[in-house]
Amino acid sequence: MRETGGDQVEEAVAGCVAALRPAVARNWAEVRAGGLDWSCHETAVHVADDLVAYAANLAGRARDAYVPFELRLDDGTDNSGLLHVVETTGALLAATVRTTTRGVRAFHPYPFRTADRAGFAAMGIAEVLLHTHDMATGLGLPYRPSDELADSVLALLFPHVQPGPTPWATLLWATGRGELPGRAPVTGWRWHNNLVIAADRLDLVGIRPAEARDLRLGGDGGFEWAEGGPYEGTRDAAGFLLKAYEGGTHRPEFGVFALVRREDGRAVGGLGFHSAPDEDGRVEVGYDLTESARGQGYATEALRALADWALPRPDVSSLFATIEPANTPSQAVVTRAGFTKVSEDEEGLAYELRAPR
């Protein structure tokens, strides 16, 4: 899988500079940037500030807040110099993304207070694409980034947004900058980086639509897998996630997780929800492991961690799992995780774990 990274950050920045350079002789401080309250000058400084802040957080492994500094231009910096600052801060983010290993996460507030290298790359790209649109609109310049860049931002940061007729039009609508037929205007939005739940030996890493698409097509989803992985059940679950995303019903926090072994960074299986909770707060879970990882307690550990995350939520009343009668190892997993058998027929056994209300 080709992960969104430094090359895409540089592509976005190059497109920004090329679009805005024809207007460097104008006074950007006197031109409003599209529908923003900022001028084009303020917006360009904001882009550069975000790019270097993302690079700093990722490089510095920030845990609870942004690294405490702010970009300031030298007095007298003209628009050409400002574009050079945007290029430079973009290069810093691209280099940081390239040199950061996959499992590293650093602080970003939305929505789960961390992001990985792909998330920081996508946020940097989004800032560049969207604010170049704002500035180009204010300056009366043409601008349209590639659909590949817009699609990567949507699949990484907007997993809750149903794809539209074109990625760029959908991204503009999703950020309150455009209209889509049949959809209400967007008045508020946030990034949506993927959820990671820590277990004892594993990290449950939320699979994003871009990764689910690659898994469903036979790829690795960007993960390094233990021998024999990914297992068929994980690919099937990725397909269900992708179908929900394309249908506009995907809730990312109730998606699918890769079980990544912390000691070596390898994925050993998949676990997740079949859908969001129903009207009674019940939600079904499923899981699988590569054959080489079975018999070591990973599935039980992961299921307990998932339950510990889900059951305190007000929209979850219980987790349940349906298991084939002959699958005694899986029955043992749910039993060790605290589930109890609530029904049995020829099609399967139903187990449930209720929230302690």
- Amino acid (one-letter) located at 45: V
pLDDT of residue 346: 79
pLDDT of residue 345: 86
Q: How far is CA 226 from CA 22, 137, 230, 234, 261, in A?
A: 51, 49, 8, 13, 9
**Three-state SS for 122?**
helix
Q: Which residues of the chain have pLDDT under 70?
A: 357
Task: Examine residue 94 and state whether it is found in any structural domain, yes or no.
Answer: yes
pLDDT of residue 357: 67
Q: Is 104 in the same domain as 236?
A: no
Domain count, the chain: 2
pLDDT tens digits, 54-107: 999 999 999 999 999 999 999 999 999 999 999 999 999 999 999 999 999 999
Query: In terms of residue numbers, what domain contains 150?
Result: 6-174
Task: Examine residue 76 and state whether it is found in any structural domain, yes or no.
Answer: yes
Q: Is 48 in the same domain as 170?
A: yes
The domain that holds 104 is classified in CATH as 1.20.120.450
Task: Examine residue 52 and state whether it is found in any structural domain, yes or no.
Answer: yes
Q: Is 257 in the same domain as 155?
A: no
Sign of the dihedral through C-alpha 15, 185, 183, 175? positive
Of 192, 131, 127, residue with least CA distance to 156: 192
Task: Examine residue 233 and state whether it is found in any structural domain, yes or no.
Answer: yes
121 φ, ψ to 5°?
-60, -45
Do 211 and 1 touch, CB atoms closer than 8 A? yes
Q: Is 332 in the same domain as 236?
A: yes
Predicted TM-score of the model (pTM): 0.95
